[in-house]
Amino acid sequence: MKAIKAGVLNETVKVLSRKKYQVFLLLTCLLSIAICSLGGFKIGFIGLSSINTPLTVLSLATEFILPLMIAMAAADLFTAEQENGSIKATITRPVSRISILTSKMLAIVLYTILVLLICLVISLVYSIVFNGIGVSNIAEVLLAYAVSIVPMLPITLFAVTVSQLCKNSSSTVMLFVFGYIVLAVASIVLPNISPMLFTSYTGWYKLFIGATMPIAYILNVLALLVAYTLIFFAISSWAFEKKEY
């Protein structure tokens, strides 16, 4: 456990120290502000309210921004380190490969949470200041952002799995994006299989909003997402263990 904690800290610092991820955080701030400002300017036209402004930001983040960021992080922490040879120094340490993989994966998850926090703070502050959002609405927004990390877990492990199949970081991102688009298109063209695809639940926070929650359906979706997460973790860990660097 200590090895994983130290590894997570090291990998998180590694991500945050890179300029492109700092720029990504800045762009996330600016994009969140732009969406909120557009909502305030067009409120009478497109009907944005005090609660759906933060949720609009969340929807954009979970469906587009975060999957792309996750793919980039997986490419940098796995494939890029394989390219430049720095992964050799990591795997020669007295730490199991499963601990190394887990540390890198959790670092991506922590960065994902950071992006969500930025979107939450900016959109919520804007709504409170300019729209007078109510206490009950604030609670719904907080819950929506909190549960949104769950569908990001199988996406993260999917990206990590893809990184084990590629030899350079650009192909990792491209293959992930291609796979993500194929799954998204398949859920539209073949609606019967949509409930079985993990990419169909990036907006599952909507299940937690409203007077009543479909508890049985939420538990079914949760079980599906956990299953995908465990499957991708098993595949990626097996590939990482067998890989020669």
What average pLDDT does range 44-49 have in this prediction? 43
Confidence of residue 213 (pLDDT cuts 50, 70, 90): confident
Q: What is the mean pLDDT of residues 42-52?
A: 48
Q: What share of the chain is helix, strand, coil (3-state, %, to 5)?
A: 85, 0, 15
pLDDT score for 82: 86
User: Is pLDDT above 80 for 235?
Assistant: yes
For 38, counting Cβ atoms within 10 Å of its Cβ (0-12 exposed, 13-18 middle, 19+ buried), the class is middle
Residues 79-91: what's their mean pLDDT?
Answer: 84
* Range among 11-20, 122-131, 224-233 with highest mean pLDDT value: 224-233
How far lies 177's CA from each of 159, 183, 214, in Å?
9, 10, 31
CA distance linking residue 235 with residue 245, whole number of Å: 18
Nearest to 161 by CA among 243, 59, 41: 243
CB atoms within 10 A of CB 183: 16
Find out whether 120 and 146 touch, Cβ atoms under 8 Å. no
- Confidence at residue 87, expressed as pLDDT on a 0 to 100 scale: 83
Residue scoring higher pLDDT (34 or 114): 114
Q: Are 81 and 167 in contact (CB under 8 A)?
A: no
Q: How far apart are CA 85 and CA 47, in angstroms?
A: 52
Q: pLDDT at position 39, please?
A: 59
Name the more confident of 86 and 239. Answer: 239
Cα maximum dimension of the chain = 61
Percent of the chain past pLDDT 90, that is, above it, reads: 61
Position 91 pLDDT exceeds 60: yes
Cα 222 from chain centroid (whole Å):
16
Residue 48, pLDDT > 50, answer no
The confidence score (pLDDT) of residue 196 equals: 94
47 pLDDT band, cuts 50/70/90, is: very low
HSE toward the beta carbon, residue 172, CA cutoff 13 A: 31
pTM, to two decimals: 0.91
Task: Select from 206, 53, 46, 42 the least CA-distant residue to 132.
Answer: 53
List pLDDT tens digits, range 161-195: 999 999 889 999 999 999 999 999 998 898 899 99
